[in-house]
């Protein structure tokens, strides 16, 4: 999804902007651009390319890239095809303003028509160009200063935006604003940095401000940060200290972020449980649950809302909460929930799950749930993200920045938090026996070690994966707690290898997908030793009878399904409810290796964005 970077201070802006854009590449994009107010001529220079940020560097040899104030952008096309003209920054008709924008201006057509009637011509198909022309029109026609023009323009805008605008007639100022799209301001010594997230900022400063919805910040050389609302009322920005280091966002010797993140999982889970798991006292404490225990204990039902991988984690959360807390749970795609007629209101607890904390559909679903009177609990990874701020309370998963577009460690972090949430609540409610709780806590404690064992299957999976690069389709089967794992395995494969894959509850196969099975069809079966093992066995036999090629994920010492399967991956045993934390690992590795063998761009797969901040 689009990325914004900005700088104002005394250093050369261009290298900071390019480096910042590269740090945001993981979000996915199709074109990039930069605008600088030249130190030599005092003019506004804009350079844009279709394709990679590296294309912008070619400009270095022949253009004026001087300037200590600039803004830059990576675009992920929504309005208009990916091309140089549609790339940001967009210039205003007067030539004075350049603007970068993330989000969607919903009433851009109405505004465009109005501006066309005033004589404005448009070069691009974007909603963003409408915004810059609107600010230009306000400024020029009303003889206004830049801040006032931005404020008045934003009052006319319906939609979501994070934006940064510079003006060659105000060469010492950047104006930024946000509503429903992410934006961070870094505060250095007499300098400011802007980023869609903290990754372009972190190497310069750890002091940041996250502007709230409807706020405008004025970044002026040599002056303190000023924040106002749309009515120009001065606000007091809260400066926060980032707890993120550069090492956390670099590859650390791995060929891809995705592989690094898969291998980080034991440590991430440890971080996620730190201070929350108290095995000797036989308790697990998520403070947000304890703080709001009455609301949660008395909930008539839980509704989990999320998208993609987070939705899969939600399906596991449902089983955990129903199993141990005996509270009914429904799991909804946030994008459907926000437009559905779901009955939701007081007495409901909505759990919103999101790695990025910026997913537009999830954010909108949260707002709807709050409006209707539900209590909203967030499970996020990105600290200070929009969702973590929009929810009433919540728990972070603490797995560190996830850069690879395909979500891996966030999934296991989400499942771990959901397990802790269910256990905390079950203990408070008295719906779990002490011995059961103790057994699960002991298993959670040793889980990082078991994950390391699961990761030892990497080499075997790498060579196995090579065999399956021929496939155009895959089926993934699982039951119970492992059914969402099958869905997640299929999603991982689709996303990065572009092989079509379907996840199914194993017993549902006979109601349709079984027709697809022949000797060409790889069928991945998640068949660890649990209460549904015998049931799954008959599903596996049905695949075998049709000559499907079975890749089975089994428990150590398995002697039955491993005899039937063509290929086997053995995992350490754990309690059934925690199975997904192990079984998902070989599926992540398999998707990764198949994509690598096929020569795909693993960390930035085509058409996908890391954080989906548009509807
Ligand atoms: O940041 P979120 O968890 O809200 O993102 C939700 C989905 O966009 C995300 O999980 C997506 O499906 C990933 N690419 C999956 O790998």
**pLDDT for position 51:** 87
Is residue 610 part of the annotated active site? The answer reads yes
323: exposed, middle or buried (C-beta count within 10 Å: 0-12, 13-18, 19+)?
middle
Q: Which of 31-35, 195-199, 508-512 holds the top average pLDDT? A: 31-35
What's the pLDDT tens digit per position in 480-506? 999 999 999 999 999 999 999 999 999
**pLDDT for position 1:** 67
Closest alpha carbon to 417 in 393, 438, 435: 393
**pLDDT for position 588:** 98
Q: Given the CA of residue 308, which atom of ligand 1 is nearest to it?
A: 12
What's the pLDDT tens digit per position in 338-386? 888 888 999 999 999 999 999 999 999 999 999 999 999 999 998 778 8
Examine the pLDDT at 60 and tell me if it is beyond 70.
Answer: no
Residue 261 C-alpha to ligand 1 middle, in angstroms?
Answer: 15
Q: What is the mean pLDDT of the chain?
A: 93
CB atoms within 10 A of CB 470: 9
Rounded to whole angstroms, how far apart are CA atoms 536 and 96? 67
Residue 277 C-alpha to ligand 1 middle, in angstroms?
Answer: 27
Residues with CB under 6 A from ligand 1: 307-310, 354-356, 359, 362, 405-407, 495, 608, 611-612
pLDDT band for position 272 (50/70/90)? very high
Q: What are the C-alpha distances in Å from 361 to residues 333, 366, 452, 612?
A: 9, 9, 35, 8
What's the pLDDT tens digit per position in 95-147? 999 999 998 888 999 999 999 999 999 999 999 999 999 999 999 999 999 99
Which ranges of 5-158 does DSSP label H, i.e. alpha helix? 13-23, 54-57, 108-117, 127-142, 146-156
3-state percent breakdown (helix, strand, coil) of the chain, nearest 5: 40, 25, 35
Examine the pLDDT at 56 and tell me if it is beyond 90.
Answer: no
What's the pLDDT tens digit per position in 384-438? 788 999 999 999 998 888 989 999 999 999 999 999 999 999 999 999 999 999 9
The answer to whether the CB of 227 falls within 8 A of the CB of 574 is: no
pLDDT band for position 29 (50/70/90)? confident
What's the pLDDT tens digit per position in 186-201? 999 999 999 998 889 9
Q: From 258, 386, 407, give the residue whose CB has the most ligand 1 atoms within 8 Å, as the site to mutate.
A: 407
Nearest CA to ligand 1 atom 9: 308
Residue 409 C-alpha to ligand 1 middle, in angstroms?
Answer: 12
Q: From 28, 257, 307, give the residue whose CB has the most ligand 1 atoms within 8 Å, as the site to mutate.
A: 307
Rounded to whole angstroms, how far apart are CA atoms 612 and 615? 8
Q: Given the CA of residue 492, which atom of ligand 1 is nearest to it?
A: 16
Closest alpha carbon to 306 in 354, 340, 378, 375: 354
Rounded to whole angstroms, how far apart are CA atoms 570 and 430? 36
Q: From 257, 309, 354, 584, give the residue whose CB has the most ligand 1 atoms within 8 Å, as the site to mutate.
A: 309
pTM for this model (two decimals): 0.78
DSSP assignment of 370-408 equals HHTT-EEEEEESSTT-HHHHHSSEEEE-------SSS--
**pLDDT for position 354:** 97
**pLDDT for position 79:** 77
Q: Considering the candidates 22, 112, 450, 610, report the single residue annotated as catalytic.
A: 610
Q: Given the CA of residue 382, which atom of ligand 1 is nearest to it?
A: 1
The helix (H) or strand (E) run that includes residue 501 is strand 500-505
Instruction: Give the pLDDT mean for 585-596.
Output: 98
What's the pLDDT tens digit per position in 309-349? 999 999 999 999 999 999 999 999 999 998 888 889 999 99
What's the pLDDT tens digit per position in 68-106? 999 999 997 777 778 899 999 999 999 999 999 998 888
Backbone φ, ψ for residue 244 (5° rounding): -145, 135
Rounded to whole angstroms, how far apart are CA atoms 6 and 467? 46
Rounded to whole angstroms, how far apart are CA atoms 423 and 443? 13
Is residue 293 part of the annotated active site? The answer reads no
Closest alpha carbon to 499 in 530, 474, 535, 529: 474
**pLDDT for position 61:** 66
The answer to whether the CB of 297 falls within 8 A of the CB of 428 is: yes
Classified as helix, coil or strand, 368 is helix
């Amino acid at each position: 999804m689009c990325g914004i970077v900005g700088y104002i201070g005394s250093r050369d802006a261009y290298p900071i902007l390019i480096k910042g854009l590269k740090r945001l590449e993981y979000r996915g994009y199709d074109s990039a651009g930069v605008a600088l107010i030249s130190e030599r001529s005092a003019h506004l220079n804009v350079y844009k390319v279709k394709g990679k940020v590296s294309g912008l560097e070619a400009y270095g040899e022949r253009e004026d890239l001087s300037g200590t104030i600039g803004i830059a952008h990576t675009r992920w096309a929504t309005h208009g095809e990916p091309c140089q003209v549609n790339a940001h920054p967009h210039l205003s008709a007067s030539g004075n303003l350049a603007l970068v924008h993330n989000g969607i201006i919903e009433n851009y057509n109405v505004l465009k028509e109005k501006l066309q009637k005033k004589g404005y011509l448009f070069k691009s198909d974007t909603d963003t160009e409408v915004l810059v022309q609107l600010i230009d029109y306000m400024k020029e026609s009303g003889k206004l200063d830049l801040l006032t023009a931005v404020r008045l323009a934003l009052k006319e805008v319906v939609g979501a935006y994070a934006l940064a605008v510079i003006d060659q007639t105000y060469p010492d100022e950047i104006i930024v604003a946000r509503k429903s799209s992410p934006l961070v301001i870094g505060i250095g010594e007499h300098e400011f940095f802007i980023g869609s997230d903290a990754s372009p900022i972190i190497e310069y400063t750890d002091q940041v401000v996250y502007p709230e919805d409807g706020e405008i910040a004025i970044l002026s050389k040599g002056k303190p940060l000023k924040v106002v609302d749309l009515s120009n009322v001065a606000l007091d920005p809260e400066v926060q200290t980032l707890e993120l280091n550069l090492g956390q966002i670099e590859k650390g010797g791995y060929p891809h972020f995705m592989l690094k993140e898969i291998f980080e999982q034991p440590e991430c889970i440890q971080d996620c449980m730190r201070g929350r798991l108290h095995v000797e006292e036989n308790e697990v404490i998520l403070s947000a649950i304890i703080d709001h225990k009455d609301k949660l204990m008395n909930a008539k039902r839980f509704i989990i809302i999320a998208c993609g991988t987070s939705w899969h984690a939600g399906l596991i959360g449902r089983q955990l909460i129903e199993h141990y807390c005996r509270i009914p749970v429904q799991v909804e795609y946030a994008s459907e929930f926000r437009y559905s007629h779901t009955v939701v209101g007081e007495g409901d607890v909505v759990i919103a799950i999101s790695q990025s904390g910026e997913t537009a559909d999830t954010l909108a679903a949260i707002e709807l749930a709050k409006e209707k009177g539900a209590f909203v609990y967030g499970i996020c990874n990105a600290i200070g993200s929009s969702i973590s701020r929009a929810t009433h309370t919540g728990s972070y998963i603490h797995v560190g920045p996830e850069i690879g577009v395909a979500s891996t460690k966030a999934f296991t972090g989400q499942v771990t938090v959901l397990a802790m949430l269910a256990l905390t609540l079950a203990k408070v409610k008295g719906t779990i026996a002490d011995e059961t709780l103790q057994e699960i806590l002991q298993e959670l404690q040793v889980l990082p070690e078991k994950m390391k064992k699961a990761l030892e299957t990497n080499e075997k999976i790498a060579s196995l994966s090579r065999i399956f690069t021929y496939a155009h389709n895959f089926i993934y089967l699982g039951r119970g707690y492992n059914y969402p794992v099958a869905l997640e395995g299929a999603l991982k494969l689709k996303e990065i290898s572009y092989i079509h894959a379907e996840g199914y509850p194993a017993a549902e196969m006979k109601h349709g997908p079984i027709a697809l099975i022949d000797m060409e069809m790889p069928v991945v079966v998640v068949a660890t030793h649990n209460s549904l093992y015998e049931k799954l066995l008959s599903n596996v036999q049905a695949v075998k009878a049709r000559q499907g090629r079975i890749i089975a994920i089994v428990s150590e010492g398995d002697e039955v399904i491993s005899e039937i399967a063509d290929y086997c991956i053995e995992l350490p045993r754990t309690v059934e409810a925690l199975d997904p934390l192990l079984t998902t690992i070989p599926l992540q590795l398999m998707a990764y290796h198949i994509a690598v063998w096929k020569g795909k761009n693993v960390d930035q797969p085509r058409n996908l964005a890391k954080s989906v901040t548009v509807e």
